[in-house]
Amino acid sequence: MRFANKVAIVTGAGSGIGRASAQQFAREGARVVVADVNPESGAMTAAAIKERGGDAVFIPVDTSSYESVASLVQQTLGTYGQLDIMFNNAGIVNAQYAVHEMPVEEYHRTVAVNQHGVFYGIKAAANAMKDRGGVIINTASIYGYIADRKQFPYHASKGAVVMMTKSAALDLARYNIRVVGIAPGLIETGIVSEWRKNPALWSKIERAQMRGKAGTPEQVAQMVAFLASDEASFLNGHVFCVDDGAASFKR
């Protein structure tokens, strides 16, 4: 039970990587705050954890609002009395346009969730953790390192998460708060469901992984749990690719 007596917040926990990570934390003894903008799916994750004997509560959040994220952290302290692990994971993809045709609103919508939301999560969690230490994990993407077409806002936001992770780790080291990130490759979740509907496109994208297959949310959750655990106590200020080598070779 790596997370006995620990309290974890997982944003975007209604689905995909967030849901699998919330379930993993709970299986290993954490009390888990399932946070999502979607109340139905968020409540489903919390219910699934409780059905298996875990301890979870759903708290709605819109990570693009600082007030909402700050309130999430305050409600967590009110419910569980402490915060040990903050997984800033909620994210969206942009509608696909080349950069010169990208609607300005679409850029801001994407960056508001993927980039600003991570800042808000780091800031609010750090203030709750600074007396006793903790771990903050941010979800970037291999698209924080390598470019694809028509994804400018997503790339901008995920590249920012990579640097925000390093910068926050440095500022928060004195409080014994580690800040690390994950950069997933293609993972079969709701966020890529549109691509999944097109078999030719899907198999092309799958071939970007070294073994030609998308990963599962559970495979990513294993890495998230490791990073949050004491086994990773000397890991700090880095973002780790969970991508079957996708960011390592030219295609």
At 84, which amino acid appears? Answer: D
At 27, which amino acid appears? Answer: R
Of the residues 120, 145, 154, 175, only one is catalytic, namely 154
Please report which helix (H) or strand (E) contains residue 204, including its range.
Answer: helix 199-206
The piece of 9-17, 47-55, 101-109, 225-233 that touches ligand NAD (CB under 6 A) is 9-17
Burial 167-181 (b: 16+ CB within 10 A, else e): ebbeebeeeebbbbb
Structural contact between residues 205 and 195, judged by C-beta atoms closer than 8 angstroms: yes
111: contact with ligand NAD by CB under 6 A = no
49: contact with ligand NAD by CB under 6 A = no
113: contact with ligand NAD by CB under 6 A = yes
Q: Is 82 exposed, middle or buried (0-12, 13-18, 19+ CB in 10 A)?
A: middle
18: contact with ligand NAD by CB under 6 A = yes
Structural contact between residues 93 and 113, judged by C-beta atoms closer than 8 angstroms: no
7 or 183: whose CB is closer to ligand NAD? 183
Q: Give residues with Cβ within 8 angstroms of 14, minimum separation 6.
A: 34, 36, 37, 38, 40, 41, 42, 44, 45
110: contact with ligand NAD by CB under 6 A = no
Task: Classify 22 in phi/psi space as left (phi over 0), alpha (psi -120 to 50) or beta.
Answer: alpha
63: contact with ligand NAD by CB under 6 A = yes
Smallest gap from Cβ 204 to ligand NAD, in A, equals 14
37: contact with ligand NAD by CB under 6 A = yes
115: contact with ligand NAD by CB under 6 A = no
The piece of 32-40, 49-57, 122-130, 145-153 that touches ligand NAD (CB under 6 A) is 32-40
Considering only 3, 7, 10, 15, the residue that binds ligand NAD (CB under 6 A) is 15
Fill in the per-residue mask, 84 to 103: x = in contact with ligand NAD (CB under 6 A), - = not in contact. -----xxxx-----------
121: contact with ligand NAD by CB under 6 A = no
At 15, which amino acid appears? Answer: S
Q: Is 63 exposed, middle or buried (0-12, 13-18, 19+ CB in 10 A)?
A: buried
User: Is 143 a known active-site residue?
Assistant: no
Q: What does the binding site for ligand NAD look like in residue numbers (CB under 6 A)?
A: 11-12, 14-18, 36-38, 41, 61-64, 89-92, 113, 139, 141, 184, 186-187, 189-192
